[in-house]
Amino acid sequence: MALPPHAAAATAEETDPAAAPYTPYALAKTLAGHKAAISAVKFSPDGNLLASSSADKTLRAYSTASLATLHDFHGHSQGVSDLAFSGDTRLLASASDDKTLRLWDVPTGTLLKTLHGHTNYAFCVNFNPHSNLLVSGSFDETVRVWDVKSGKCLKVLPAHSDPVTAVDFNHGGTMIVSSSYDGLCRIWDASTGHCMKTLIDDENPPVSFVKFSPNGKFILVGTLDNTLRLWNISTGKFIKTYTGHDNSKFCISASFSVTNGKYVVSGSEDKCVYLWELQTRKIVQKLEGHTDAVISVACHPTENMIASGALGDDKCVKIWTQEKD
């Protein structure tokens, strides 16, 4: 199962000479263990843990310091599509094809709660910053807001007319963004559930991923026409476009890397992880090593570490770090 550690990744196609010299990321470790395709990887907010979810119906938690597997979470009856850490890292939420969301206790690895309500695959999940609310999107075209404490569904938002591919809270927990195959991104008021805005371009390719920027003013939108865009929410127009990768089939997640310069990181169907500089939009590095499409990437909140997970032919989580001088 374990793949041989790969040599240093391919260097940048164009390096930006004006900025500080870019230190390339290199493969630090490959974490094998899942028995089917990985669907999501995420770091905990305090940076101590990494978790991955997989089509093999389980989730795994690893320590970022030792990269050893800490827990295996069993309980779902179908594959898991997404996961999220709570703000205090005590809870893990997962969304699965068995139409449920589950809440797990991270220190012990036990199942705490099962949230029923969606009528089709639960596809994406996220906590709000205070972790008393959970938002989930599903193939039943709705977005649901749940109370973490009681497990009750507080709101059902008639969000889209196609499967909802991603949901996210902003930094203050006041807004929810949702994206869907119908080509729209919608912004909702988290406390009332009312639609605030719909972001749509002239052509509306299916939106496979959406995420708020750290300050909540922009959203990073991935569409199935091999493009990532940064939209300004208040003007409703996109201001940056990132291309060069392949994304036309899968819901590949992307992330902001802000620990050492500002970058956008994304997986790709050509088995690489792409890094673009945020402002210039140039590709600064392509990380090679996976043997199948890279479906999910995550950036460590404080260290220069990227985690990536790939699909069925690969089944591994790879950790990339910047070489120290």
Partner 1 sequence: MEAPIIDPLQGDFPEVIEEYLEHGIMKCIAFNRRGTLLAAGCTDGSCIIWDFETRGVAKELRDKECTAAITSVCWSKYGHRILVSASDKSLILWDVLSGEKIAHTTLQHTVLQACLHPGSSTPSICLACPFSSAPMIVDLNTGSTTALPVLTADVSNGATPLSRNKTSDTSVTYSPCNACFNKHGDLVYAGTSKGEILIIDHKNVRVCAIVLVSGGAVIKNVVFSRNGQYMLTNSNDRLIRIYKNLLPPKDGLKMLDELNESFNESDDVEKLKAIGSKCLELLHEFQDSITRVQWKAPCFSGDGEWVIGGAASRGEHKIYIWDRAGHLVKILEGPKEALMDLAWHPVHPIIISVSLTGLVYIWAKDYTENWSAFAPDFKELEENEEYVEREDEFDLVPETEKVKGLDVHEDDEVDVLTVERDSIFSDSDMSQEELCFLPAVPCLDIPEQQDKCVGSCSKLPDGNHSGSPLSVEAGQNGNASNHNSSPLEPMENSTADDTDGVRLKRKRKPSEKGLELQAEKVKKPVKPLKSSGRLSKTNKPVIDPDSSNGVYGDDGSD
> Cβ 185 to partner 1, closest distance in Å?
11
Q: Which is nearer to partner 1, 11 or 119 (CB)?
A: 119
Candidate segments 4-12, 23-31, 44-52, 246-254, binder of partner 1 by CB under 8 A: 246-254
128: number of Cβ within 10 Å: 22
CB burial of 270-296 (b: ≥16 within 10 Å; e: otherwise) equals: ebbbbbbbbeeeebbbbbbbbebbbbb
> Cβ 79 to partner 1, closest distance in Å?
3
> Cβ 197 to partner 1, closest distance in Å?
5
Candidate residues 33, 47, 109, 216; the one interacting with partner 1 per rule CB under 8 A:
216
Residues 78, 98 contacting (CB under 8 angstroms) = yes
Candidate residues 142, 179, 255, 266; the one interacting with partner 1 per rule CB under 8 A:
142
Q: Give the number of residues in contact with partner 1, rule: CB under 8 A.
A: 105
Q: Check residue 34 for interaction with partner 1 (CB under 8 A).
A: no
Q: Which is nearer to partner 1, 204 or 302 (CB)?
A: 204
Long-range contact set of residues 14-18: C-beta below 8 Å, sequence gap at least 24: 14/282, 14/283, 14/284, 15/284, 16/277, 16/280, 16/282, 16/284
Tokens of 68: 């050893």
> Cβ 106 to partner 1, closest distance in Å?
12
Residues 269, 247 contacting (CB under 8 angstroms) = yes
Q: Which is nearer to partner 1, 313 or 323 (CB)?
A: 313
Q: Check residue 97 for interaction with partner 1 (CB under 8 A).
A: yes
Q: Check residue 32 for interaction with partner 1 (CB under 8 A).
A: no
> Cβ 111 to partner 1, closest distance in Å?
8
Compute the chain's Rg from CA coordinates: 18
- Where in 42-61 is the site for partner 1 (CB under 8 A)? 54-57
Residues 288, 24 contacting (CB under 8 angstroms) = no
- Where in 58-77 is the site for partner 1 (CB under 8 A)? none
Candidate residues 25, 250, 276, 320; the one interacting with partner 1 per rule CB under 8 A:
250
Q: Which is nearer to partner 1, 31 or 124 (CB)?
A: 124
**Nearest-angstrom CA–CA distance, 118 and 82:** 15
Interface map 259-298 toward partner 1 (x if CB under 8 A)? ---x---------------xxxx-------------x---
The residues pairing with 238 across neighbouring beta strands, listed in sequence order, are: 231
- Where in 154-173 is the site for partner 1 (CB under 8 A)? 154-158, 161-163, 170-173
**Nearest-angstrom CA–CA distance, 43 and 89:** 10
- Where in 1-30 is the site for partner 1 (CB under 8 A)? none
**Nearest-angstrom CA–CA distance, 81 and 77:** 12
- Where in 174-203 is the site for partner 1 (CB under 8 A)? 174-175, 181-183, 186-187, 189-200
DSSP state of 199: E
Strand order of the β-sheet with 153-157 is 122-127, 133-138, 143-147, 153-157
